Amino acid sequence: MLSAVTPMPFTGAGLDRATDDRRRDPDWLAAQRAHPRARAVVADPSGLALDGDRLKLTPYRGEEPALLLGLDADGPLFAVDAGPPPGPPPAAILGVDALREAGARLAPAEGGLLAYVAALVNWHRRHPRCACCGAATTITEGGLLRICPACDAEHHPRTDPVVITLVIDGTERVLLGRNVRWPARRYSALAGFVEPGESLEEAVAREVAEESGIEVGAMRYAASQPWPFPASLMLGFFADYRAGEPRPLEGEIEDVRWYSRADILAAIHEDPGAPLDVPPRFAIARHLIDTWAGVTAGPAA
Amino acid sequence: MLSAVTPMPFTGAGLDRATDDRRRDPDWLAAQRAHPRARAVVADPSGLALDGDRLKLTPYRGEEPALLLGLDADGPLFAVDAGPPPGPPPAAILGVDALREAGARLAPAEGGLLAYVAALVNWHRRHPRCACCGAATTITEGGLLRICPACDAEHHPRTDPVVITLVIDGTERVLLGRNVRWPARRYSALAGFVEPGESLEEAVAREVAEESGIEVGAMRYAASQPWPFPASLMLGFFADYRAGEPRPLEGEIEDVRWYSRADILAAIHEDPGAPLDVPPRFAIARHLIDTWAGVTAGPAA
């Protein structure tokens, strides 16, 4: 299994999240907030502050709302939201552009914490109201639940599963597509959100067919990666080619085509003659591609 | 891979969901609504109507909102919501109790359609308002998107990933737990929601440790199953035992313990002397248990 060999970027926060009944105990939460070594990761309008190649931690001073990330060896760790960037809602703490920069600067071990903070702060920024009745909701359980005082509905943070599939034709060629919004020359695995009432395997087959016109056969789960911009969880699969000719989905996929092993190796090694660019190392798609090509992934940076 | 051998219950709707750009075309949607062979699955306060062992389909008469499930060989298929059961929100179309009955009566091939209808209708019932600003939102894309006329936020149906893990100690024993709310004698795999910014693998390790005190090593993804009551997607894993003694999570898990292969086989075969009951066949947990025990799963009913 891929994930057992190379930890995925944006995993590994390694905190005790205290998701058992401790979070439901107001006295316990109050003690964490008053802890002398409580620290916070601060999200402000410009994003997340870095301290060299790490997320900057500041002493926690009881700021509201108290979003308790969990406990590390030194004590409790909070996320503090000092406000979104200017502009109309829905605002996000970090978009993929900012992430690209942070991904290049952050120590790999910090990626899991970044993903956790981004997921939690993004969700609270985008969900202050009750989707059931529209009333303002109240944060509880240290930020892992919002409850509605008007209709009693409970709202947990949402995580949107996304399947990302590398279609392979044995060891010789691999199917990659180009989203219309991507940088020039970039090709990657095919991805899409899981739809209501759909298994991952159904989503893989549907998304590949929709985006590329290709029918797949057997598929194998490889690894997962949080991608909380604002709320995705990437679920990586390999799928065997069965039938069809590549045909891009109009309006979303600019091009979809087979690449040979030699093409992929050239792109991985950044040869000047490579016919494409592969995704950056912090993307799960890159790990799927490297694994297929038999290249051991390097550090995530 | 388990899912390649035995299709999971609540999968296999087999519709063309038209999740490409067709849904964004109002003319195309209008043509589906006016289609002479358009049909609907109707959710009413008592649940979903059955016609023998199948979901009852009625002619679609242009009811609002038009929730387009997709297309089958006969034409478009809609879900129509004739209202939730009496009582305060958040109301759900079908809870797990009603499902248990439907699971016993429905033809296995109908389970995927049931899951899709339940997921979509449940989401619309619970999310009429904008979580960002509280305004009433408008259904678009045939029911796969709600947009906010006040703040322009877009809201897609939510699907909550849940990891469900069978901890195994080689071929000899398996770790099962008993939720405090379950029927007497029922033991099953350990399950819990994926938290923000967490990979599936991190969620597996965290949930098993939290609920049972057990530390796991290598893990293998097995299969997935929609469980839309109201919005879950079950992601089944096997995980190897590494260390620890079983200790149930107070307040949630009544008991957690190792069972031998002989115990599990007795339960699968419903021997009078079996020391436990295993979950029903429509649950992914049962498929994990059967697969570990080397028993081929029968029909889902």
Which chain B residues are within 8 Å of A11, Cβ to Cβ?
A: 198-199, 201-202
A29 CB neighbour count, 10 Å cutoff: 20
Radius of gyration of chain A (CA): 21
Pick B196's closest partner by Cβ from A90, A120, A153.
A120
Q: In what order do the strands lie in the sheet with B145-147?
A: B138-140, B145-147, B154-155
Which chain A residue lies closest to B116 (C-alpha atoms)?
A: A197
**Inter-chain contact B223–A201, Cβ cutoff 8 Å?**
yes
Which chain A residues are within 8 Å of B144, Cβ to Cβ?
A: 195-196
Per-residue pLDDT tens, chain A, 301 aa: give them.
334 345 788 898 889 999 988 999 999 999 999 999 999 999 888 888 888 888 999 999 999 888 999 999 999 999 999 888 787 665 667 666 666 666 667 887 788 999 999 999 999 999 999 999 999 999 999 999 999 999 999 999 999 999 999 999 999 999 999 999 999 999 999 999 999 999 999 999 999 999 999 999 999 999 999 998 889 999 999 999 999 999 999 999 999 999 999 999 999 999 999 999 999 888 999 999 999 999 865 444 3
The minimum CA-CA distance between A187 and chain B, rounded to whole Å, is 20
Q: Choose, out of B198, B233, B256, B287, the residue to mutate when testing the contact with A (most A CBs < 10 Å).
A: B198
**Inter-chain contact B250–A21, Cβ cutoff 8 Å?**
yes
The C-alpha atoms of residue B88 and residue A169 are separated, in whole angstroms, by 53
The C-alpha atoms of residue A224 and residue A230 are separated, in whole angstroms, by 16
Q: What is the DSSP letter of A108?
A: G
Mean pLDDT in runs of 10 for chain B (301 residues)? 59 92 95 97 85 91 93 96 77 65 74 92 94 97 97 96 97 96 95 97 97 97 93 97 97 96 97 96 94 71 34
Q: 0.80 cut: is pTM over it?
A: yes
The C-alpha atoms of residue B24 and residue B250 are separated, in whole angstroms, by 49
3-state secondary structure A158-184: CCEEEEEEEEEECCCEEEEEEECCCCC
- Looking from the CA of B301 toward its CB, the CA atoms found within 13 Å total 9
Counting one residue from A and one from B, how many pairs have CB atoms under 8 Å apart?
Answer: 206
Pick B196's closest partner by Cβ from A134, A201, A228.
A228
Pick A134's closest partner by Cβ from B21, B135, B250.
B135
**Inter-chain contact B197–A228, Cβ cutoff 8 Å?**
yes
Tell me the CA distances in angstroms from A163 to A9, A279, B300, one per residue in order. 17, 16, 26
The C-alpha atoms of residue B155 and residue B138 are separated, in whole angstroms, by 10
**Inter-chain contact B201–A3, Cβ cutoff 8 Å?**
yes
- Looking from the CA of B279 toward its CB, the CA atoms found within 13 Å total 26
Pick B200's closest partner by Cβ from A119, A153, A224.
A224
Which tokens belong to B68?
């387009």
Residue pair B236/B222 in contact by the 8 Å Cβ criterion: yes
Q: Choose, out of B195, B219, B253, B287, the residue to mutate when testing the contact with A (most A CBs < 10 Å).
A: B195
Which chain A residue lies closest to B112 (C-alpha atoms)?
A: A197
Residue pair B176/B241 in contact by the 8 Å Cβ criterion: no
SS3 A25: coil
- Looking from the CA of A294 toward its CB, the CA atoms found within 13 Å total 7
**Inter-chain contact B199–A225, Cβ cutoff 8 Å?**
yes
- Closest-CA residue to A161 (of A102, A129, A201, A188): A201
The whole-angstrom distance between residue B186's C-alpha and the CA centroid of its chain comes to 19
SS3 A243: strand
